[in-house]
């Protein structure tokens, strides 16, 4: 017997299957984290409960509080706990290389990146995309049900694999945890790229990326009423690759589509 636990008791514990309550808590924890991250840490248990009700998930607020504490999630302004959360989870922010200078004479010199959420009847999807500052083309994108570093890493790797950029590429994003985390920053720097971050809370530092997502929501998402996540994924891929990059005329490109502009200026 070790630490007061018998050998038979230890093996019985190892073989024990998780209870229905444990499985429910795992699913709920994922949904809570999605809502928390979607609203950038602004929502506490009460608002998260209402958001879950919109998805037909009815759950006691006290249970949400308990699960949030177990995940170390605290809404902004929630006593001293949020300050401790910020210190504990602070990632490294990088200097703002662009300084709102969105002029660029060559492609694959500056990429802008960001994440947005896409509502469906099955819950939210998250889209991460990188836009070339010169051609306005979406060079890389990724879609997932969770907003993690993996989401932005996949989008960057897709773009890097297709564009084959040289060293010195500037990758500019906001200071979201997905973009300032160690895995993403290590990946970008390993490709010889330079990291750049907007000033915290200033959307104008990444205005062109904000503009793209505004266009995407207006022209595709707002009136779509996607019933399933698969429907949303297919529509997003079609919009980005077959319409936005290939057909949609862009005023900054002399009313040419990004790929058309590339071909004429290559």
Per-residue H/E/C for the chain? CECCECHHHHHHHHHCCCCHHHHHHHHHHHHHHHHHHHCCCCCCHHHHHHHHHHCCCCCCHHHHHHHHHHCCCCCCCCCCHHHHHHHHHCCCCCCCCCCCCCCCCCCCCEEEEEEEEEEECCEEEEEEEEEECCCCCEEEEEEECCCCHHHHHHHHHHHHHHHCCCCCCEEEECCCHHHHCHHHHHHHHHCCCEEEECCCCCHHHHHHHHHHHHHHHHHHHCCCCCCCHHHHHHHHHHHHHHHHCCCCCEHHHCCECHHHHHHHCC
Q: How far apart are CA 172 and CA 209, in angstroms?
A: 10
pLDDT-derived band at 17 (thresholds 50, 70, 90) equals low
Rounded to the nearest integer, the mean pLDDT of the chain is 84
What is the rounded average pLDDT of the residues 148-169? 91
The dihedral sign for the CA sequence 200, 150, 145, 28: negative
Query: Scanning the structure block, which residue is given the tokens 């001293």?
Result: 80
Enumerate long-range contacts of 218-221, CB under 8 Å, 24 or more apart.
Answer: 221/118, 221/119
| 68 token code pair | 């949030």
pLDDT at 89 exceeding the cut of 70: no
The predicted structure's pLDDT at residue 246: 95
Q: What is the pLDDT of residue 249?
A: 94
Q: In the predicted model, is pLDDT for residue 85 greater than 80? A: no
Residue 91, pLDDT above cutoff 70: no
- The pLDDT, as a whole number, for residue 186 is 92
Q: What is the pLDDT of residue 237?
A: 96
Higher pLDDT, 135 or 107: 135
Highest mean pLDDT among 31-45, 126-140, 188-202: 126-140
Distance CA 17, CA 262 (A): 57
pLDDT at 184: 93
pLDDT score of 191: 92
Query: Is a pLDDT exceeding 80 seen at residue 3?
Result: no
In which band, very low, low, confident or very high, does the pLDDT at 60 lie, cut at 50, 70 and 90?
A: confident
Max avg pLDDT among 1-5, 136-140, 196-200: 136-140
pLDDT of residue 41: 80
pLDDT (tens digit per residue) in 174-209 = 988 889 888 999 999 999 999 999 887 777 889 899
Q: Give the span between the Cα atoms of 23 and 27, in whole angstroms.
A: 6
> What share of the chain has pLDDT > 70, as a percent?
87
Q: Say whether pLDDT at 51 is over 60.
A: yes
Residue 116 banded pLDDT, cuts 50, 70, 90: very high
Buried b (16+ CB within 10 A) or exposed e, 158-188: bbbeebebeeebbbbbbbbbbbbbeebbebb
Structure tokens at 242: 């077959």
* CATH code of domain 110-264: 3.30.420.10
Which band of pLDDT confidence, cut at 50, 70 and 90, is reported for residue 259? Answer: very high
């Amino acid at each position: 017997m070790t630490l007061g636990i018998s050998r038979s008791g230890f093996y019985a514990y190892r073989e024990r299957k998780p209870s229905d309550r444990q499985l429910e808590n795992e699913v709920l924890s994922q949904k809570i984290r999605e809502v928390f991250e979607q609203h950038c840490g602004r929502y506490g248990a009460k608002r998260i409960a209402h958001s879950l009700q919109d998805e037909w998930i009815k759950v006691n607020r006290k249970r949400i509080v308990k699960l949030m504490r177990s995940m170390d999630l605290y809404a902004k302004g929630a006593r001293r706990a949020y300050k401790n959360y910020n210190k504990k989870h602070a990632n490294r922010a990088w200097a703002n290389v662009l300084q709102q200078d969105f002029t660029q004479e060559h492609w694959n010199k500056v990429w802008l990146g960001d994440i947005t959420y896409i509502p469906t009847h099955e819950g939210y999807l998250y889209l991460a995309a990188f836009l070339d500052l010169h051609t306005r083309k979406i060079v890389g994108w990724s879609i997932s049900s969770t907003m993690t570093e993996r989401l932005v890493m996949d989008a960057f790797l897709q773009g890097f694999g297709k564009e084959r950029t040289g060293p010195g590429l500037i990758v500019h994003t906001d200071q979201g945890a997905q973009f300032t985390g160690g895995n993403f920053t290590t990946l970008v720097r390993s490709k010889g790229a330079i990291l750049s971050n907007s000033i915290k809370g200033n959307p104008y530092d990444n205005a062109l990326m904000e503009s793209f997502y505004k266009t995407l929501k207006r022209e595709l998402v707002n009136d779509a009423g996607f019933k399933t996540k698969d429907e949303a994924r297919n529509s997003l891929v079609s919009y980005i690759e077959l319409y936005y990059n290939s057909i949609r005329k862009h005023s900054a490109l002399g009313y040419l589509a990004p790929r058309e502009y590339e071909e004429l200026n290559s």
